[in-house]
Structure 1
Amino acid sequence: MKNIKTFVVVAALALISSSSFAQTVTATVSTLDGAEAQIAAKAKLAGAGYSITEAYAGNQVHMTARLTK
């Protein structure tokens, strides 16, 4: 029983700490390079790294990234 309680507490703390740093940023411009430059600038302001999660190129480029600390 003690092991189960310990596991639940550790799992809850892991979820809290992971979600507290998760932040998503987006950019919409005319080129892929411009979109990535905007994402990089936003990440730098937040003092974080980034991982691009989605990019769409139609009439404009829309890019979404997740900031990582």
Structure 2
Amino acid sequence: MPTLNWIGKDAVLNHHKEVPFHLLRCDPKLSVGDPDSGNLLIQGDNLLALKALLPYYAGKVQLIYIDPPYNTG
């Protein structure tokens, strides 16, 4: 099986351990629809968002769609 190798790969593979955990905050001004629907739209850094979801959804998620970075200028 092909693999990707680069200088500093080990540091990147363990980077998620160094990123701090944050709780999700609901902003009622940006919310629409039924608050009990269970649907979420999260705006933020992918890694921070995924770490915030981990306590609620560990072992329960089969698919996550992560949109590529935008508005990064």
| Same fold, TM-score > 0.5, yes or no | no
Higher strand share: 1
Larger Rg: 1
Q: Give the structure-1-normalised TM-score.
A: 0.29
Which has more helix, going by share of residues? 1
